[in-house]
Every structure is written in structure tokens, then in C-alpha cells.
């Protein structure tokens, strides 16, 4: 799997995810394969299944980091829909969405 920077706004201590570059779990945080661009957002962008599940769109995350990243997905999807419809997204809207606020 290609190296990518994790999008999770907060990382668990001892996180075995791609961001921390650990290769083993600390015993409590199993890793998950995460879609760097979530499936629901990829659909908004018009990606097909092959593009959505391409290796360059996958990364390893710990369960806590995966949960934290997923928390931001609804707002990021709203931004994607707004962009696709031709509307402008402000920097404040963008930062709020990626930080899950």
C-alpha cells in the first residue's frame, strides 16, 4: 500500500496507523484499511469502483484514528457536493470540515 499522510484530525496515543509509521499494533488498536477519499465522497466526484478502491486511495489507520477521520466525513461530503454544484467554498468552511467542527 502506498504511503500517505493520514487525514485523521486527532491520533490515539500509541496509534499503529500510517501516520505513526509503526509496523505493529500495541495490542489494543487493530489497524483498518481506510479509503483516503471516502467512498461517499468519491461517488460525488464521479469516481468508479476501480478508482475508489485503487491502492493509491487506501491507507492503514488504527481504529481510533479511523473513527476520528470518519467523524469528519459528513461535512467533507457536504463540501464536495457544494463544489460539484459550482458553489464557492470558503477557507473557513474547508477548515471547519477537515477539522470536524
Distance from C-alpha of 56 to C-alpha of 53, rounded to nearest angstrom: 8
The ranges assigned to domains in the chain are 31-98
From residue 29, alpha-carbon distances to 59, 64, 74, 77 in Å are 15, 7, 24, 27
From residue 40, alpha-carbon distances to 3, 48, 95 in Å are 22, 11, 19
Asked if residue 41 lies in contact with residue 73, where contact means CB atoms within 8 angstroms, the answer is yes
Of the two residues 71 and 3, the one the predictor is more confident about is: 71
pTM to 2 decimal places = 0.73
In a 10 Å sphere around its CB, with 0-12 CB exposed, 13-18 middle and 19+ buried, how is residue 3 labelled? exposed
Q: What is the pLDDT of residues 17-29, one digit of tens each?
A: 655 555 444 444 5
Amino acid at each position: 500500500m502506498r504511503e500517505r499522510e493520514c487525514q485523521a484530525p486527532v491520533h490515539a496515543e500509541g496509534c499503529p496507523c500510517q501516520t505513526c509509521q509503526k509496523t505493529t499494533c500495541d495490542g489494543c488498536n487493530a489497524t483498518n484499511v481506510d479509503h483516503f477519499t471516502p467512498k461517499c465522497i468519491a461517488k460525488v466526484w464521479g469516481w468508479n469502483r476501480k478508482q475508489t478502491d485503487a491502492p493509491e486511495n487506501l491507507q492503514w489507520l488504527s481504529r481510533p484514528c479511523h473513527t476520528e477521520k470518519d467523524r469528519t466525513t459528513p461535512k467533507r461530503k457536504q463540501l464536495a457536493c457544494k463544489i460539484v454544484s459550482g458553489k464557492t467554498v470558503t477557507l473557513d468552511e474547508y477548515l471547519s470540515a477537515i477539522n470536524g467542527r
